[in-house]
Structure 1
Amino acid sequence: MYQVRLLPNNITFTASTQQTVLQAALDAGITFPNRCQVGACAMCMCRKTSGEVSYQLEPMLTEKEQAEGWIFTCQAVAESDLVLTLD
């Protein structure tokens, strides 16, 4: 289990490697923007300021977006503790 912290409100929850970051947030009762849950609508996109995630399928993010830390939480699985920013 990994600790995930959402900024700017400093909300924390845990995520396992068996679920997406979005599903972990929803399971913890956290209101998290989402719609399609397949990486097409970009509503769950947020910036990873620290930590590592993995994907079963590569997300539809440009190289620049990935370099800037953007992730699709509906597709991302935590591989370490994470700090995410909802801008």
Structure 2
Amino acid sequence: MDATRTEHIDTTKTQRLKIALTGASEYIGYILLEQLTREYDVIALSRHGDQKEDNSHVEWRSCEPFSISSAEEHYKAQTMPSIWSTP
């Protein structure tokens, strides 16, 4: 075996971080969504998420964005660690 040989690492199969974005269908949220999906998988939370189509980097969910309990419920459905703090 050649000691100077370096191994090739396939970076196309690395797991992308997943984040949640509320208000993803609104003007600013949609611009953020376009930027974030370049590097991350996004759970897009919106009042009208059920009317949107998922793609390889975006999973749409309906929730009331001004209700922390609604957003937390839909975010946790993925069995991911919570970013929400509760009293």
TM bracket (short chain):
under 0.3
Determine which structure has the larger strand proportion and give its number. 1
Higher relative CO (CA 8 A, sep ≥ 6), structure 1 or 2? 1
TM-score using structure 2 length: 0.26
TM-score using structure 1 length: 0.26
